[in-house]
Structure 1
Amino acid sequence: MKLLFTTLLFFVSFFSFCQLGYKYDVRSSYVYVEVEFRNGEEKNGFGRLNAENIVLFKELEGSKKQKFSYREVKSVIFHTTDGKRKYVYKIVRDKKGRNRVLPLIEDFKGELSLFFQVHVSTSPFFSPNVAGMGNYVNGSTSELKIYFLGKENEDTVKPIGGIKMKSKRSKKIVKEYFSDCPDLVQKINNDYFENLEIEAVVNYYNANCQ
């Protein structure tokens, strides 16, 4: 019974300590930002995103906080320790037809634009000690990169999965976006692109299919 209780406690604690977040830290602290508003105005200052994806903005580090939603903000460039990252508010439509507005990282822009989110999952490692209670130490960290496709000057994008898309659904979405470029569709069908790597596919489209 004691062994069963200890085992259950381990799994409950394990899942309680698992964390899911974003790789690029634009939420926990203010960093230098360049904000582009939908009315064409631009502001530089210090900002971060809150849990509701609202931009918290300060013109100076000690000045009063202002709040701007996606209705006012078009994009934000965050100057993080990982470099500059441009977040663009896009309407994401899932496979059930539901819409959500999310800030997505702009990978590259063109006739067809590519955006992504990086989710980081950290799982602690449980190490039992001599008393039988155990300690949590640094565990493994895994990253999941989710890509979104969108056409130029359109606010709606479609999620297409990870960097290497092997599912039939992902291939179907890709062909839908590239249907106006028969040469590219043929290359996709003939497995020209290894594992259908989306960055290479979109680069090919923007360079050869316009």
Structure 2
Amino acid sequence: MKQLLLLVLSFLFSLPIVAQEEHDATLYFLDGTDISGYATLKLDKASFYGAPQDKIVFRVTKDEKADVWDQKTVTKVVFHDFDTPRTFEYIEIKYSNGTEITLLELIIKGEVSLYADALAAWNSKPKDPDEASHITPEPKYLKVKRDKETKLTTLTGNKKKIAAYFNECPGIVERLENNTFNIATLEDIVEYYNDLCSDNFLEAPPRAVKKQADRDEEEGE
């Protein structure tokens, strides 16, 4: 009887933990439809076959059983109840011997997009509870990809690798040389490129110029 009571109490105390992991979310399917409800991520990099086994756990209402979804039917999930919406999407990467579909968090969308490893991003917690409800993981978990590229690039290491990737953007190269930019400011670098050096820059220069002027003013303070 005592053992049964302990099992019941353990189950009851575990319920709030599961509920806390769920977030208001929208699930997007391959056929273009979507549905709103509650979701969390089930992440397992060490699968038997070595391929990522990242799943999305989703249910429409909290009183129904959750279903598990993956890249076979789903394109992405967007979580709405963080300080800003967070998008995790399945990205198909082509290799010489085939393709692999990986779940990544989309940090910045643009001509150059910035992604984060899903497991690292989901487990990143702010050191200060008063900070934002999530933080960008360490640079070693970040990857960039141009629209026309079929692979992800990790820009860890020295600044020469970053400069080589963004070599058609003199402003980035200059800021790397004077230590304004470095691997820790990869988000700023990608935003700078998309605003001022991408092919889309000429479509909306006033916004980009103002954004860069604000950056330059902050640097001069």
Give the share of equivalent positions with the same residue, in percent.
22
Equivalent residues in 2 for 1:94-133, closer than 5 Å: 100-117=100-117, 118=120
Unaligned runs of 5+ in 1: 1-24, 123-142, 162-166
Structure with more strand by fraction: 1
Structure with the higher helix share, 1 or 2: 2
Across the two proteins, how many residue pairs are aligned to each other?
Answer: 157
The verdict on how the C-alpha distance between 1:111 and 1:193 changes in structure 2, with shifts beyond 3 A counting, is same
The one-letter code sitting in structure 2 at the alignment partner of 1:77 is V
In structure 1, the partner of 2:90 is 89
Aligned to 2:209: none
The DSSP-based 3-state class of the residue aligned with 1:89 is strand
Query: Hey, what does 2:152 align to over in structure 1?
Result: 157
Match of 2:31 among 17, 39, 43: 39
Letter of the aligned partner of 2:75 in structure 1?
K
Report the equivalent of 1:178. 166
- What is the aligned partner in structure 2 of residue 191 from structure 1? 178
Contact 2:167 2:173 in 1 (8 A): no
> Is residue 17 of structure 2 the alignment partner of residue 29 of structure 1?
no
Are the structure 2 counterparts of residues 47 and 109 from structure 1 closer, same or farther at C-alpha, using a change threshold of 3 Å? same
State the structure with bigger RCO (CA 8 A, min sep 6), 1 or 2: 1
Matched residues in 2 for 1:99 and 1:175: separation?
Answer: 28
Q: 1:99 to 1:26 in 2, by over 3 A?
A: farther
Instruction: Tell whether 2:207 aligns with 1:208.
Output: no
User: Using the alignment, how far apart are the partners of 1:99 and 1:191 within structure 2?
Assistant: 39
Conserved? CA contact 1:178–1:184, under 8 Å: no
Structure 1 position 149, deviation (Å) = 0.4
**Structure 2 runs not aligned, ≥5 long:** 1-16, 44-52, 126-136, 199-221
Say whether the 8 Å CA contact 1:148–1:159 is kept in structure 2: yes
Q: CA deviation at 1:192?
A: 5.2
TM-score, structure 1 length as denominator? 0.58
Cα RMSD for the two superposed structures: 3.8
Q: Which amino acid aligns with 2:26?
A: E
CA contact (8 A) 1:36 1:76 kept: yes
